[in-house]
Structure formats: structure tokens, C-alpha cells
Amino acid sequence: MPIADTTQDVQRAQRAQDTDRPHDRSQTDNATPRTTSPRTTSPKLTLFAALLGFVMIAVDTSAVNVGLPAVGRGLGGSTAGLQWIVDAYTLMFAALLLSAGAFSDRLGASRLYAGGAAAFTLASAACGLAPDLGFLIAARLVQGSAAALMLPSSLALVRQAFPDAKARATAIAQWTMAGAAATAVGPVLGGALTSSVSWRSIFFLNLPVGLVILAAMRRTERSVRRPAPLDLPGQVTAILGLATLTYGVISGGASGFGRPQSWGSLLVALVSMSAFVAVERRTKEPMLPLGLLRDRVVAVCLAVGFVINAAYQGLIFVFGLFAQDVLGRSAVGAGLVFVPTAVLCTVTNLLSARAAARWGARTPVLVGQLACAAGLLMLLVVNGHTSATALALLLLPLAGGLGFAVPSLTAMMLGGIAPERAGLAGGVLNSFRQTGGALAVAGFGALVAQHGGFVTGMHLSLLIAVALLAATTLATLALPKVHR
């Protein structure tokens, strides 16, 4: 899960959510007693703690993708097993992100962030010590859960530390750029650690970072607790449905969809998703209000977010394996392939906001999708004789299109709903995006694992992604230029 791709929409969603909450300290203090640390709190220390956690998550995610072939050689995992190393993390991140805001309100952002950082650190140690693939996947599930709790609460901490709007905007910009830079450095760092030490060192690197975060959090002011609903039945059915759907796709690709573990998992997924819909219809405070999906602008934005992340995350997974297993690049060489894409994605994120301000949010979303589709078609020329340099250049349109579309996509969705639902909408969009990435890793990974050969499965994955992008581009084009 390339974290840099998600920073802009998480940032906007949190900022929008903050506008729905009291900004005056006196109002907050009258509503809920504030528990503070007895020590003097520095806003810069709070920002440092929040920023360092985001950097840890970003580096870990991008570095792990480069180390996957080494993990497979060390633990004897197949392509299907390697898919679960990515998907176990992404699934929990996507599912829990819907309720992360409620967790943050109920426990307080500072408590949730510190708890998430502790869990992420311990899970990283477990990943580094994993004796087999199953243990590693289980630890990645915990990592993904912890990351889902840390990301929104880190932004809440920044708001808490910087009540002035101008100072807060500067702090959030620093937070965003740090995550983007960490994502760019992650593949190279992961490749270097894998080649010089071991893939396990990628996870062990999180241990001192996590301890520094926890030490900083001891001097951070404790956040206000607010009563917030928690949709546990919806959460459980969503996680079960996503997990069994992904397992069914991975299992079917590895051993055939006619086997019981594949069609049985898909059947469980269907039942779980049906139960999720029934739960969300009846609960008073659903984590995913189904009425939100009936709005045309919202529905299109969710579809675009799902597809554009599926194209990017699914194919980055495939090309990460391709660079090492087919082109024969080292882990460091494979990491270097993705550095230009991470840098370009960051730059186009910034350009997207300017373009939306001038031409409206729909235009950057359309241009971004078209750039992604064009980039995917260009990648069809990639085969076993393609150089790593050529691959790095061919990946640029895909990354640039993603970075250009996502921030404006979030703005377009938030502009299409009532202001009081902005925070919820941001969480739903992020969850759809991460779910798209998880399912694409499962589906595309299954295709390249087929007996037809890696390159054939890779080209088929590219064509599927192009077809999906064509559909969402047409749907976006059908939306009005200016919506409510």
C-alpha cells in the first residue's frame, strides 16, 4: 500500500472532519473533562511523534514490496503466499479505517496513536522473527490494524498541537511531504537492507523508531475523549467478507476455482457481504451509510478510487516481482526502479490542487485516469528483454496519473455531499481505495501465477486495468462539471 498515494485524501478528510467539531477550547472543556500530561508539551514534539509514525508506516510498506522475493526464498512461499504478505496488511487497513475515527473519539487520539505505535512495533518484531510464512502473515494482519489506527489519529494530534489554522496547515504539509519522501526512499532502503543484511532487517528497523515515538508520546498532551458509536457487527462482517473474497481469488488463481477452498471462500464472502448490507441497513449509526452510495457523484468517486488504486497497487506488486524474478535485478536494483514513480506521484499531487482550483475537480480526475490508462497501454511492450531503466520510465505515466487524480477525486467527492458527512465520506473513499488495491494484488497475482507464464499474466492484468479505467473515465465524464 503506497502510503504517499493516500496522504492527500486522508489529510482532506481529517481537515473536513475537524470543521464539524468544536474548535473553541472552552466549549470542549465544558463538554468533556480534559486529561493532560503533567509535563510541558511542545507542539513540535507532538508533530515529530506524528510525523515519525507516518514515516515508519510509509517506509515499511514500500520496503516490504521490494523484499518479497527474498521472503519467498527464505520461507519457501509461493506467489500466493507473497500476495498475502501484502493483502493481510492492506485488508485490515481498509476495513478498520472506516471505524478509526470512532476509535479515536472514544479513546482519545493520543492514547490510540500510542497504542497503535506500540502494536505496530511489536508486530514488526514478530515479522522479523517469523519462522514461517503463516506466522509472518498473521503479524502483518496486526501491522495493518495498527497502521489503520495510527494514520487518522496522527492527524488529530497535529490539529490538537496546532490550534492556529495557519500553523496547522504548515504542520500538515510537513507531515504529508515526510510521508511522500519516506515512500520514495523505502524501496531503495528495503533493497539495500535485503541485499546487505536480510529481509528481516526491514522489520527490525521499526523497533528503534517505535521506541522513539513512544518516548515522545509520554510528553504529549492527552487528547479529549468523546462518546462515539462503534459499529462492531458491521466491522466484523466487512473484515470477514473482504478476507474470504481475497482468499478465494488467491486460492483460485493458485490451484483452480473448482476446488472447495476457493469456491467455499467465495461463498462465505457472499454471505458475509450480504450480512454486512443487512447490518448497515438496520443499525442506527452505521460505519457505511448505504444511502451515501445512492448519490451519483459519490458512487462514481468510489468506483474511480477503487479502480485507480487497483491499477496502481496491483501492478506495482506485479512489476516488483517482475523486476527481480524475470529481469534478474537485485533487490536494490528493483527498489531503484520505483523511486521515479514515487517522486513523480508526490509532484503531481501538488499540481492537482492547483488544477482543480482553476478548472474544477472533475478535470484533474479525468486527466489522471486517462494518463493512467495510457501508461498501462505503454507497459504492454514490457517483456523479459526490457531493461530496468526502460521499465522505470514506462511506469511514470501510471504514477503521474494516479498522483494527479487522487487529491481532486477527494475534493470532488466531498463537494458532492453534505458538509456534516465529509469526515465519513473521506474514510469510505480511503477504504474503497485500499480494498481495490488488495483485491487487485490477489487477482493480478493469480494471473501471473498461471501456467501461461508471468509475462502473459502481466499483460492480461494490464488489459483488465485499462478496461476498468475506461469504464470509470466514461462515468466521470458523465458527471456535471459543477455539482453541489
CATH class for domain 3-231+285-477? mainly alpha
- Percentages helix, strand, coil for the chain (3-state, rounded to 5) are 80, 0, 20
Give the mean pLDDT of the chain. Answer: 81
Instruction: Give yes or no for residue 6 having a pLDDT over 60.
Output: no
Residue 76: what pLDDT?
Answer: 80
Query: Are residues 399 and 5 in contact, defined by beta-carbon separation less than 8 angstroms?
Result: no
Domain ranges of the chain: 3-231+285-477, 232-284
Residue 245: what pLDDT?
Answer: 84
Query: Are residues 152 and 431 in contact, defined by beta-carbon separation less than 8 angstroms?
Result: no
Instruction: Give yes or no for residue 397 having a pLDDT over 50.
Output: yes
- Tell me the pLDDT tens digit for each residue of 322-337: 988 888 888 888 888 8
Output 31 or 416, whichever has higher pLDDT: 416
Say what percent of the chain tops pLDDT 90. 25
Instruction: Give yes or no for residue 281 having a pLDDT over 50.
Output: yes
Q: Would you call 94 exposed, middle or buried from its count of C-beta atoms within 10 A (0-12, 13-18, 19+)? A: buried
Query: Closest Cα partner for 469 from 377, 378, 338, 359?
Result: 377
pTM for this prediction? 0.77
Q: How confident is the model at residue 418 (pLDDT cuts 50, 70, 90)?
A: low
Query: Are residues 97 and 148 in contact, defined by beta-carbon separation less than 8 angstroms?
Result: yes
Mean pLDDT of 74-103: 79
Residue 202: what pLDDT?
Answer: 93
Output 55 or 29, whichever has higher pLDDT: 55
Alpha-carbon distances of 218 from 14, 45, 49, 214, rounded to whole Å: 24, 10, 10, 6
Highest average pLDDT, of 173-182, 441-450, 469-478, comes from 469-478
Output 199 or 18, whichever has higher pLDDT: 199
Instruction: Give yes or no for residue 12 having a pLDDT over 60.
Output: no
Output 172 or 471, whichever has higher pLDDT: 471
Residue 423: what pLDDT?
Answer: 57
What is the DSSP code string of 431-453?
A: HHHHHHHHHHHHHHHHHHTSTT-
Distance CA 346, CA 189 (A): 18
Distance CA 300, CA 293 (A): 9
